[in-house]
């Protein structure tokens, strides 16, 4: 049995919530668990404004000592994200190594190898565990709230899945690839999800799709697989039945995270609040 922690939307620097305190509560809880966690997956919106200071704070908070893989969301800045989590320099190189967040992942297209070298290409990564591969795609669109997987990301994902055809795999990104019944989020979800669906249907080892962005725990189906959305750490967005506000944010609910349990061919998801 293998257990993954799944966090999302910590929004370090958000003015309306104690983003640092809420994130620290979750990561301290994870680090204190008596049983083993295989890894921590964080699906985007790490910084609220994309500043270097926010990312350095986030990196420190997310360093639980566990293998951790993090992808950008629509609030994130790719260049600053790379410098903090992948330790890439402004010239596209990589700074001195070390352990911690992002140190165990393989960086895909958008890095120095794509010829850009400016840090603004998509940040796609792979974390290979014993018996499981976690692939995170960058669905962010600089300057836009909605998501989209660039052609190079789609090609990269297809190639990675081909290479790992014999290993159960989770594919994640920030933006959900299906509507969740939350109008505000659904309006700014993943555009052209059928492009992703075509890739996933070619690779039966993909057992589920992970996402964030919705600030609420949710589960649905996409490409005949579970689509598992992590709750937001910084706050919770409510459904239309719970609030008539345009952006129905609940700042009082405690921070939450998900635990994905892979046991043989069965994947089960649990959600926890940290109080």
State pLDDT tens for residues 155-174: 999 999 999 999 999 999 99
251: its two tokens: 């700042």
Q: What pLDDT is attached to residue 87?
A: 75
Find out whether 110 and 121 touch, Cβ atoms under 8 Å: yes
Q: What's the pTM value of the predicted model, to 2 decimals?
A: 0.92
CA 63 to chain centre: 15
Distance CA 134, CA 243 (A): 35
State pLDDT tens for residues 5-49: 999 999 999 998 899 999 999 999 999 999 999 999 999 999 999
In the chain, what are the domains? 2-273 (3.60.21.10)
DSSP assignment letter at 114: G
Among all chains, which residue has been given the structure tokens 């960058």?
138
Paired sense of beta strands 2-7 and 256-263, if any: antiparallel
Q: What pLDDT is attached to residue 106?
A: 72
39: its two tokens: 């890894």
């Amino acid at each position: 049995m293998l257990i993954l922690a799944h966090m999302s939307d910590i929004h370090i620097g958000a003015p309306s919530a104690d983003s640092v305190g809420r994130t620290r509560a979750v990561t301290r809880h994870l680090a204190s668990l008596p049983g083993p966690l295989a890894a921590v997956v964080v699906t985007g919106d790490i910084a609220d404004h994309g500043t270097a200071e926010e990312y350095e704070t986030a990196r420190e908070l997310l360093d639980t000592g566990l293998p951790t893989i993090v992808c950008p969301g629509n609030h994130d800045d790719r260049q600053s994200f790379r410098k903090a989590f992948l330790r890439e320099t402004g010239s596209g190189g990589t700074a001195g190594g070390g352990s911690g967040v992002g140190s165990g992942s393989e960086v895909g297209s958008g890095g120095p190898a794509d010829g850009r070298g400016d840090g603004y290409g998509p940040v796609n990564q792979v974390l290979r565990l014993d018996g499981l591969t976690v692939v995170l795609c960058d669905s962010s669109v600089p300057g836009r709230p909605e998501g989209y997987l660039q052609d190079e990301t789609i090609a990269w994902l297809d190639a990675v899945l081909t290479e790992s055809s014999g290993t159960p795999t989770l594919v994640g990104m920030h933006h959900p690839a299906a509507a969740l019944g939350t109008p505000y989020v659904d309006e700014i979800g993943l555009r052209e999800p059928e492009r992703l669906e075509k890739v996933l249907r070619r690779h039966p080892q993909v057992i589920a799709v992970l996402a964030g962005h919705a600030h609420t725990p949710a589960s649905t189906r996409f490409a005949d697989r579970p689509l598992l959305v992590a709750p937001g750490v910084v706050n919770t967005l409510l459904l239309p039945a719970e609030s008539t506000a345009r952006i129905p944010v609940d700042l009082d609910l405690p921070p939450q995270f998900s635990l994905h349990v892979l046991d043989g061919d069965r994947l089960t998801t649990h959600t926890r609040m940290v109080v």
